[in-house]
């Protein structure tokens, strides 16, 4: 199955480190970051889960729930979580799916045979409260993810959902934003962007980020 942006994230029921999870029900009205790992007790994954655990307060501020996945069983997850907490100086307060039968991995196309026939690559999905897929990033097994980028994209998605703007390259929360080309009426521009805007080209209109 191939997932694309805007698709409904497949629902599933699967075991996890906190018990059986029904994904859509578990999400509730929150955003979700679903991310897979090749295997438990692997070094890069250990650092990634530690980083995710330390970002809990940042995810909470953004109404985001994190959930990991590997194809190892629950008892193996439990031992690995202890290692993560001890070596990364954190508390793993989010669930890790035990996708032993690879049901979720297949639903989300997380197994790439040219990387491995059995283990998941580093897939990451940002899913909004309407259960729509908003971002898909896939890293190779050898490269750890940039979780600052995950937070940056969540900020951009939430901003552009609430205001009629787009974000430029390397945008961070608080930076100037871009006015979409769909807005051309000057009256609408003045109403939506009371701080004004600069237009170095007719198609490139830059305005301060709206107040949240």
Catalytic residue numbers read 45
Cα(78)–Cα(26) distance, integer angstroms: 20
User: Tokens 């609430």 map to which residue?
Assistant: 162
Cα(105)–Cα(172) distance, integer angstroms: 32
Cα(194)–Cα(207) distance, integer angstroms: 9
Long-range contacts of the stretch 161-167 (C-beta < 8 A, 24+): 161/128, 162/212, 163/192, 163/210, 164/192, 165/207, 165/209, 165/210
């Amino acid at each position: 199955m191939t997932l694309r942006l805007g698709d409904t994230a497949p629902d599933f029921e699967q075991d996890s480190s906190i018990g059986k999870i029904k994904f859509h029900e578990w999400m509730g009205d929150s955003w979700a970051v679903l991310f897979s790992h090749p295997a438990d007790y692997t070094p890069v994954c250990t650092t990634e889960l530690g980083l995710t655990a330390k970002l809990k307060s940042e995810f909470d501020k953004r109404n985001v729930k994190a959930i990991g996945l590997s194809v190892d069983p629950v008892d193996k997850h439990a031992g690995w979580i202890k290692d993560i907490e001890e070596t990364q100086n954190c508390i793993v307060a989010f669930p890790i799916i035990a996708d032993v039968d690879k049901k979720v991995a297949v639903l989300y196309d997380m197994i790439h045979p040219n990387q491995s026939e059995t283990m998941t690559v580093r897939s990451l999905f940002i899913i909004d409260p309407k259960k729509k897929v908003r971002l898909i990033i896939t890293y190779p097994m050898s490269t750890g993810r940039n979780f600052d980028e995950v937070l940056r994209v969540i900020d951009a998605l939430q901003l552009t959902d609430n205001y009629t703007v787009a974000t430029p390259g390397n945008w961070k929360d608080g930076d100037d934003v871009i006015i979409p080309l769909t807005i051309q009426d000057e009256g609408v521009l003045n109403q939506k962007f009371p701080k004004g805007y600069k237009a170095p080209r007719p198609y490139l209109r830059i305005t301060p980020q709206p107040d949240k």
